[in-house]
Chains A and B, each alone.
Chain A
């Protein structure tokens, strides 16, 4: 970028983490309230886009957990893995399993559903980040 906006850069740094936090919250609440892996993934993409536009593609790429394409493929693999326990249980592929863990008076419900949804989240985030970076990378080099 030829021009910098100090204010925007300052805001973007904290906004990035806030947006990611929000996306994780949306991801986790998704089963019972509006939200879920797909929406959360788009939220994360928006956060990455903010960084990529305000700073540059490289600093946005550095803050991803993996390289974007790896992230996308890892998401697909995670979703694939989440379906396997169902097969062990002689059910169809992707039949989700639930386990309750009692801690004091509360029962924490764990299931393969959340693994699947995290997979969706990562696949969306990684794939759209790939598009985003590739598109934004074309800029700045035009002379």
Chain B
């Protein structure tokens, strides 16, 4: 067990800190003290205190946002917070699936078995959907840690249309850095299998890579209505 991870996670036991963390993480970008204070209903000073504690523990990162006006009287740069990229996890008893997953990804590469891996991932996605029949895919993806959000400004998306359901978090992040082609392809297959298993259209999920997010995005449900008849 990693003591520093356990300590970092135990900070979130405090409801104010937990709520501040969720505000910052859920924003997908930089959040200032005032904004975080307002969202959680605590004073700016208290928010600042707790946010800095979360930075100290490595759960958040801080930076400075330059004031819009420059020169004298424009004030100091505002301190902003964003979710730290490092992962924290504690498992009791100790478990280490990441190393094994990495080895298995290496095996797929060595065998050139990407197609088979995608087939298996798709079937796994359909299996995951079994307990969620009738639920919207957005809720199921949220439950699996993908952090979906609706992006209306999606003109550049491969499938076109009004916008996309994007996934802020990649649940397989570390592995996708190591084996991006394999992991992103398997993740797409998994999402397609999930859609299929939910009785939705698998084509809603498409590869849509961008820095800092999951490489899969989904067509919005409204886009699919025209194809239902």
A and B physically associate: no
Which residues of B come within 8 Å of A, CB atoms?
A: none
Which residues of A come within 8 Å of B, CB atoms?
A: none
